[in-house]
Amino acid sequence: MNRRDFMGWLGVGAIASSLPVAIAACTPQSQQSSTPQTIGTLAELDQQGKLFVELASGPVLAIRNPANTEQIIAVNPTCTHRGCIVEWQGDQSAFVCPCHDAKFAPDGAVLGGPAEDSLALLPITIDGESIVVGGAA
């Protein structure tokens, strides 16, 4: 094998060996982890009116359900229109996107605005005073 052929095969080998990394980088990852994670306490939720936490698996926004304050609702607050982070507006009982005014009901359903898809609801459990997101619903 001459030097030119060797360098050609070396280049092909380099490209082929980096292909799995490129594919993994371009593959969409799961938005939320199924591993249960504590995002705060009931006292913190009641004091602040909402809990916003950035987990390694993505953002979480938890509120008390306005229709049943014994129930906690958690959503991925990433707007389904352009990816902005929605804010809970208690006076409107809605999640509102600050970028394009998309509105979502407490259960994540679209109420209006340019968004067409609902916010993702996340499984929530209460463990004593801790609010836990992830795992089985």
Splitting the chain (137 residues) into consecutive groups of 10 residues, what average pLDDT does each group show? 80 72 50 74 94 92 94 95 94 94 95 93 93 77
Residue 3 falls inside a structural domain: no
Q: What pLDDT was estimated at residue 27?
A: 45
What is the reported pLDDT for 29? 43
pLDDT of residue 31: 43
In a domain, 9, yes or no: no
Residue 18 lies in a domain: no
DSSP designation for 32: S
Residue 81's pLDDT is what?
A: 92
Give the Å distances, CA to CA, from 84 to 77, 78, 104, 122. 8, 6, 13, 18
Q: Give me the pLDDT at residue 1, please.
A: 79
Domain of 93 in residue numbering reads as 37-133
CATH number of the domain within which 45 lies:
2.102.10.10
Number of domains the chain contains: 1
Residue 14 lies in a domain: no
- Say what the pTM is: 0.72
Whether residue 113 contacts residue 19, with contact meaning beta carbons closer than 8 Å, is answered with: no
105 within some domain: yes
Phi, psi of 72 (to 5 degrees): -105, 135
Residue 76 lies in a domain: yes
* Angle in degrees, CA 86, 90, 94, rounded to 5: 50
Residue 28 lies inside a defined structural domain of this protein: no
